[in-house]
Chains A and B, each alone.
Chain A
Amino acid sequence: MDLYRQNILEHYKHPHNFGHMQNADVVKTFFNSACGDKIIMELKFEKKSGIVENISFSGEGCAISQASASLLTDEVKGKSVEAVLKFQTQHVLKLLNTALTPSRMKCALLPLEAIQKCILEGKTKKMV
């Protein structure tokens, strides 16, 4: 099937940036109650330059949400927080490079929502 392309399966089976980090600035847990996904997002900022210095994720999710988190964490690492806040749906879909049915959209987008909410919290707490 088109949805489970090789690159998605690869990221699902061997996700990048999976696990925990030491000294994270923000750690937040997110749920997708519709399908029971849980994602813990951890970010560390470089305050001076306003970039995402390090990022990791953990939790449980379907292949789409795990692959999306793997690809997205790669993508945002080293990017400015302002640029990441501007990421939209299209950006994620391009990274995944697959055809998503409407019911799977939430799975693909949860990691982005998680990252952006972590950044906003970081900003509120003046960590970035």
Chain B
Amino acid sequence: MIHVNKIKHDFPIFKRKIHGKPIVYLDSTATALKPQCVINAVHTYYKKCTANVFRGIYTLSEEATAGYEKARSDVASFIHGSPEEIVFTKNTSESLNLIAYAWLPDHVGNHDTVLTTIMEHHSNFVPWQQMAKRIGYTFQVWNCDQEGIFSITDLEKLITKKTKLFALTAVSNVVGTINPIKKITAMVKKINPSCLVVIDAAQAVPHMPVDVRDWGADAVAFSSHKMLGPSGMGVLWMKREHLESMKPFLYGGDMIKEVHIQETVFHDVPHKFEAGTPFIEGAFGLGAAVGYLKNVGMANVRSHEKELTTYALQKLKELDGVSICGPKNAEIHAGVIAFRMKGIHPHDIAQLLDEDNICVRVGFHCAMPLHEYLGIGPTVRASFNIYNDKYDVDTLVQGLKKVKKMLG
């Protein structure tokens, strides 16, 4: 059970009023707000132990290293992985690009296939599409239905022995669909055990319990800033055997053991993939964010957002001229709802909602192929987190009524 008023207290941004009105933040799918403990953790690095990690033989550096590595183990246990399988990147996009640059060219040839889906965020679509142009493999896309739900039977036809990589989102950042990752991964592996299954979990890890082992995937990417942590910090979890066999993505400091004039011996995983001074304070913040979420409990987060989604789906449905995208059932619909209002451009809707500090997102939400495929044009997107409650949904609905009165 989540007590939103208590939670809100932990997020200092809610003390802010704009034009004398409180903030109704419905854009957590883009980025999440930050609790005080995350802000404190970043401050701790600045105020208490600023030093570079790994090399300093003095207290400050040892504390910085300990904080950085503690974040790695905290993240690992949060998703049921092990610390040496956690690579810190700058965001989900970089995590996925790491695979595209460091794994793909050595494993996929021009007679092979890479499969992704129509539901993807551009970050899990463009890398595979573009590498196809470079390597010459076939780039395939798995389509969902109009409600944003996949048919597993279609997948069975798409996956072959030639499918070397399959990239899929766990939760859609537009239509909100929660994909059955375990079931899908099992199906892919049954047909082709050597197909690398890559999961974009940017919208899953912050909102529901995730167990990467249970999913059975090979790689899982997500971002700190969507899970209450600092931006500029991302995570790639990847099975150790893959990380071991891959060449580094970026070369430079910290990722080496020995360097000679003609040869270099690379560091062990995961450090092999973290070239240069990392975002140390970002790791401190992410560690704190994970601690905060653990404390709330991910099952609680999910059930709170499910309840809110059910409520919002109902309230929005009652509005004349509103059409909602994605599954009708909150069981498979995460706390993100994209919708359109008949005859009114989403941009105008967002602008008028902003008058009451209602923060929503409009446009294509970095998923142009999906919008094009569904033939829906730009949408308005409202998304929830632990600091949202029914009052926020009611305020949104009131705001939409106002918009309709003015522009409808």
Contacts and interface: CB of A to CB of B under 8 A. Distances in A.
Contact of B378 (A4, A9, A35, A64): A35
10 contacts: A1-B351, A1-B352, A4-B348, A4-B406, A33-B368, A61-B345, A62-B347, A63-B347, A63-B407, A101-B351
A36 B371 contact: yes
B347 A107 contact: yes
A37 B377 CA distance: 9
B343 to A, nearest CB: 10
Interface of A: 1, 3-4, 9, 12, 33-37, 60-64, 101, 104, 107
Nearest to B352: A1
A36 B406 contact: no
Interface string B362-381: 11100010010000011000
Contacts of A12: 407
B346 interface: yes
A34 B352 CA distance: 18
B364 A63 contact: no
A12 B345 CA distance: 11
B363 A35 contact: yes
Contact of B351 (A3, A36, A60, A61): A3
Specify the main secondary structure of chain B where it touches its partner: helix
Given A1-B352, A1-B355, A60-B377, A35 B347 contact: yes
A62 B348 contact: yes
B229 to A, nearest CB: 26
Interface in B357-408: 362-364, 368, 371, 377-378, 406-407
A28 B352 CA distance: 31
Nearest to B378: A36
A62 B406 CA distance: 13
Given A1-B355, A4-B406, A63-B407, A36 B377 contact: yes
Pick the most buried of A33, A36, A63, A104: most chain B CB atoms within 10 A of its CB.
A36
Interface string B330-366: 0000000000000001111001100100000011100
A4 B345 CA distance: 13
B20 to A, nearest CB: 15
Contacts of A33: 364, 368
A63 B348 contact: yes
B363 A34 contact: yes
The 6 A-B residue pairs with the shortest CB-CB distance, nearest first, are: A36-B378, A62-B345, A62-B347, A35-B347, A63-B348, A62-B348
Contacts of A107: 347
A56 B103 CA distance: 51
B357 to A, nearest CB: 13
